[in-house]
Amino acid sequence: STFSIPDKQAVIYYERNGGPEVLKYSTEFAVPSDLSATDILIKNKYTGINFIEVYFRNGIYPADFPYIPGREASGEVVAVGDKVTNFKVGDKVAYLGHKNFAQFTKFDSTQSTILNLGQNATSKQLKLYAASLLQGLTALTFINEAYAVKENDYILVTAAAGGVGLILDQLIGNVKKAHVIAVASTDEKLAKAKQNGAEFLLNSSELSNDQLAEKILEITNGKGVEAIFDSIGKDTFDLDLKVIRRKGTLISYGNSSGAVPPFIINKLSSKNVKLLRPQLYGYVAERPEFEHYTKELFDLINSKKLNIDIHKVYQLKDYPTATKELEGRKTTGKLLLEIPN
Chain contacts with ligand NDP (rule: CB under 6 A) = 50-52, 135, 138, 159, 161-165, 184-185, 189, 204, 231-232, 253-254, 256-257, 278-280, 326-327, 329
Judged by CB, which is closer to ligand NDP: 58, or 174? Answer: 58
Nearer to ligand NDP by Cβ, of 223 and 329: the residue is 329
- Rounded to 5°, the CA angle 64-50-14 comes to 30
| Nearer of residues 121 and 322 to ligand NDP, judged by Cβ | 322
Query: Min. distance of Cβ 337 from ligand NDP in angstroms?
Result: 13
68 or 280: CB nearest ligand NDP: 280
* First-last CA distance in the chain: 16
- Considering beta carbons, is residue 138 or 170 the nearer one to ligand NDP? 138
54, 327 contact by CB (below 8 A): yes
Q: Is 323 left (phi over 0), alpha (psi -120 to 50) or beta?
A: alpha
| 24: Cβ contacts below 8 Å, ≥ 6 apart | 12, 13, 14, 15
23 versus 31: smaller Cβ distance to ligand NDP:
23
The rounded distance, in Å, linking the Cα atoms of 66 and 103 is 16
Q: Which is nearer to ligand NDP, 278 or 320 (CB)?
A: 278
Chain centre to alpha carbon of residue 175:
19
Torsion 232-233-234-239 (CA) sign: positive
Tell me whether residue 159 or residue 337 sits nearer to ligand NDP (CB atom): 159
The least CB distance from residue 199 to ligand NDP, in Å, is 17
Instruction: State the minimum distance, in angstroms, from the CB of residue 207 to ligand NDP.
Output: 12
Contacts of 213 (CB under 8 A, 6+ apart): 239, 242, 243
Cβ-closest position to ligand NDP: 162
79 DSSP β-pair partners: 41
Residue 222 C-beta: closest distance to ligand NDP, Å: 26
- Give dist(CA 80, CA 302) in Å, integer: 30
Q: 3-class SS at 103?
A: coil
Number of H helices, E strands in the chain: 9, 15
Q: Which CA distances in Å does 255 have to 51, 120, 191, 323? A: 9, 39, 24, 16
